């Protein structure tokens, strides 16, 4: 437990407000001393804020610059969309202002961004697909980095009705209301339409996403939940042969490790 160091804590809290709050720039820029006074800083510390006004504002720019790499790298189409609309900076500002970045792992900025979009609804009145687009973009990064698993033993290579399916740990059975997989830098606005995807990392370590029918997606969901192949097909009225063929194909691609 750290002993109270009230002055140090107050100074750090004040700078955090300047860096993160959406109105931090305007409030601090207008009157740094008053900004400090509102946060109960000592008089001499208020004066120091005023003395270093422009340089402290530089830190605000640096915090935003630190997001320029991870966010557009992970969310290239979301970034392209918002940048084109002149809203990227506002989005980053609102994200920072929410104080949603809590982990000290830099990589956790990306899932925090998706979680913030989901929680805040930011931008989704204008771009109702925004959260789903960002989610799909993040899934690719998550899958590519997903921890490797120890090799499974005693798995069969042939799907059968009475066997369980052992999926690769990177497999994500996804459902969207937009064709997010068709988005691109030139056309980042996906068309509306129910979309079912099975995303995974293949044997070569590359990201793959297979488009599924609604039935196939439901069948795989049941298999992922631990139902036997035959039970899953029967529950959905799906011909067993179709299910076996799908699983065989996914096994060949590396999404399914085998059958037990």
Partner 1 sequence: MTPSGTPSGTPFSGVGVGLRRPHLAQVAALKASPVPFWEIAPENVVGQGGTRHRQVMQILERDPVLTHGLSMSMGGFDAWERDVLDNLRGFLKATQSPWHSEHLCWSSFGGANTHELLPMPFTREAVQHSILRTRQLQAELPVPFLFENVSYYAELGAAEMSEKQFLAEVLEGADCGWLLDINNVYVNSRNHSFDAKEWLEGMPLHRVQQLHIAGHAWFEEDQLVIDTHGAPVIDPVIELMQWVLPRIGRAVPVLLERDNDIPALEELLAERAALQKAYDVALDPLSVSGPGSGGSSRG
Residue 77 buriedness (CB in 10 A; 0-12 / 13-18 / 19+): buried
Binding residues for partner 1, rule: CB under 8 A, are: 2-3, 5, 7-9, 11-13, 15-16, 19-20, 41-42, 44-45, 47-49, 52, 54-56, 58-59, 61-63, 66-67, 99-107, 109, 144-149, 201, 205
> What is the per-residue DSSP string for 4-48?
P-HHHHHHHHHHHHHHHSTTHHHHHHH-HHHHHHTTT--HHHHHH
The smaller minimum CB distance to partner 1, of residues 9 and 184, is found at 9
Report, in Å, the least distance between residue 57 CB and partner 1.
9
Report, in Å, the least distance between residue 183 CB and partner 1.
23
Report, in Å, the least distance between residue 213 CB and partner 1.
29
**Region class of 154: left (phi > 0), else alpha (psi between -120 and 50), else beta:** left
Report, in Å, the least distance between residue 35 CB and partner 1.
13
Distance between CA atoms of residues 110 and 205, nearest Å: 20
- Tell me which DSSP letter residue 154 carries: S
Tokens of 116: 């913030």
The smaller minimum CB distance to partner 1, of residues 109 and 223, is found at 109
The smaller minimum CB distance to partner 1, of residues 4 and 86, is found at 4
The smaller minimum CB distance to partner 1, of residues 22 and 124, is found at 22
Report, in Å, the least distance between residue 12 CB and partner 1.
5
């Amino acid at each position: 437990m750290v002993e109270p160091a009230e002055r140090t804590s107050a100074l750090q809290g004040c700078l955090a407000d300047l860096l993160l709050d959406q109105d931090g720039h305007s409030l601090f820029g207008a009157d740094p001393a008053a900004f400090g006074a509102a946060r109960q800083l000592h008089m001499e510390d208020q004066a120091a804020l005023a003395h270093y006004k422009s340089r402290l504002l530089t830190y605000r720019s640096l915090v935003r610059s630190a997001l320029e790499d991870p966010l557009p790298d992970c969310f290239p189409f979301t970034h392209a969309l918002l940048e084109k609309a002149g809203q990227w900076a506002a989005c980053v500002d609102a994200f920072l202002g929410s104080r949603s970045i809590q982990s000290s792992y830099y990589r956790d900025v990306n899932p925090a961004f998706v979680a913030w979009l989901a929680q805040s609804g930011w931008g989704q009145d204008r771009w109702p697909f925004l959260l789903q687009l960002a989610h799909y973009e993040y899934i690719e990064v998550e899958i590519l980095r997903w921890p490797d698993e120890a090799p499974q033993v005693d798995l069969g290579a042939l799907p059968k009705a009475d066997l369980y399916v052992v999926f690769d740990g990177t497999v994500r059975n996804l459902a969207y209301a937009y064709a997010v997989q068709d988005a691109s830098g030139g056309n980042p606005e996906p068309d509306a339409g129910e979309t079912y995807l099975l995303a995974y990392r293949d044997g070569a370590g590359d990201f793959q996403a297979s488009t599924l029918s609604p039935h196939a997606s439901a069948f795989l969901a049941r298999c992922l939940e631990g139902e036997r192949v035959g039970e899953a097909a029967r529950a959905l009225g799906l011909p067993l042969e179709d299910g076996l063929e799908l699983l065989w194909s996914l096994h060949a691609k590396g999404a399914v490790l085998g059958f037990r």
